[in-house]
Amino acid sequence: MTNPAQRDDTVWPAVLTWRAHNAPRMESVRVQLVGNRIRAAGRIIGGDCADHPAFSASYDLVTDEAGVTRRLSLRTSLASGERHVSISRDLEGYWMVEDGTNHHRSGFGGALDVDVVLSPFFNTLPIRRLGLQHNAENHQVPVVYVYLPDLSVRPAELTYSSGPDGIHVLSPVSSSTISVDGQGFLLDYPGLAERI
């Protein structure tokens, strides 16, 4: 749930920035909000460490008026070269994943959201869509899960449980209790990153 110390005075559009707790990595994203619709353009920069090689990643995200992801474009740059993936959801609920070589169409278990490993921003999508920053609830959330920096895409299921001490998130790579602001944007994800 929300951190009472965090005021909800953010003016939109806004630039939100996070730094990793235990790795040389940062993320910054320009977010535009219109109701529940989100348009976001962001970048993640990571230095070489035990968790990943040095990389940069940029993304563009658009959701619909209900907060459901419509499309995500991701590009990564590593010393070995560049990669790109486009993920879009059609009106029938099917996802198309294209990487320039392969095209894959799937329902991804009914997913409405995309999650990108190493990114604190993408947790916002189900939190806002489900109103978890205001309501104490438990949800199993199927997602289109994108791994950085290789951009592999797999189905995954995350568990979000909100309560007075925060929102507990169980993902394929971590388990933590996070704090968010009144708009559902992440303030602190122990073990991943904090907003600065």
Token digits of residue 165: 């001490």
Find where tokens 């929102």 sit.
167
pLDDT tens for each residue of the chain, 196 residues long: 444 334 456 788 999 999 999 999 999 999 999 999 999 999 999 999 999 999 999 999 999 999 999 999 999 999 999 999 999 999 999 999 999 899 999 999 999 999 999 999 999 999 999 999 998 899 999 999 999 999 999 999 999 999 888 999 999 988 999 999 999 999 999 999 999 9
What are the domain boundaries of the chain? 14-195
Task: Look up the pTM and report it.
Answer: 0.92
Alpha carbons within 13 angstroms on the beta-carbon side of residue 171 total: 26
Give φ, ψ of 59 to 5 degrees. Answer: -145, 155
